[in-house]
Amino acid sequence: MLAFNFTPFPVIETERLVLKRITNEDANEVFELRSNPETMKYIPRPLVKNTEDALEHIAMIDDKIETNVGINWGITFKDNSKLLGIIGYYRMQPENYRAEIGYILLPEYHGKGIIPEAVNRLIRYGFDDLKLHSIEAVIDPENLASEKVLQKCGFVKEAHFKQSSFYEGRFMDKVIYSLLDK
């Protein structure tokens, strides 16, 4: 079985980006991301209502890192430390050598290739450093932009579950994409 250890925290760079640890200094951007109905449209979680909620979200991220059960990075440009988005591994299954990747990006940065660049780098990190065998992504079937990102990064559609989850009074479909280590 795999054992994950995120200490020291792995700061990761790509051509344009730095994936860094999210801190309380990022509370405004975390608030911006998680309170925006547009960015949260396909994420079945309650909207963050204030900075305090954002700080609680950051504390939850920290707790997962410290207990090695999940890891999130803040996405920034190399020349600017402002948080553009969040990307990470959730629902890690060390016994199955598998983890779920997820991401969220401020709307003004959509369509600039930021998420594919970060996802491709984290795929390498997942397989090379974490020794994962497979990576999955769970998306809303209406989230065509995310679907395009996953396909561009080599993920294959594995399943479409009809009305498999219930959130805020309605049943929702979910689609699972996955990628196997070569």
Q: Residue 97: which pLDDT band, with cuts at 50, 70 and 90? A: very high
User: Counting beta carbons within 10 angstroms of the beta carbon of residue 75, is it exposed (0 to 12), middle (13 to 18) or buried (19 or more)?
Assistant: buried
CB-CB contact of 125 with 107 (8 Å): no
Instruction: Tell me how far CA of residue 154 lies from CA of 15, 88, 138, 142, in angstroms.
Output: 19, 18, 15, 19
Residue 120 has pLDDT above 90, yes or no: yes
Q: Cis omega (within 30 of 0) on the bond before 46?
A: no
Residue 59 has pLDDT above 90, yes or no: yes
The neighbouring-strand residues paired with 77 are 17, 80
> What tokens does 86 get?
């969040």
> What tokens does 115 get?
């998420």
Look up the CATH architecture of domain 12-180: 3-Layer(aba) Sandwich (3.40)
pTM of the model: 0.95
Q: Average pLDDT over the chain, rounded to whole?
A: 96
Question: What pLDDT sits at residue 124?
Answer: 98
Q: For 123-141, write each residue's pLDDT tens digit.
A: 999 999 999 999 999 999 9
Question: What pLDDT sits at residue 182?
Answer: 82
Question: What pLDDT sits at residue 1?
Answer: 85
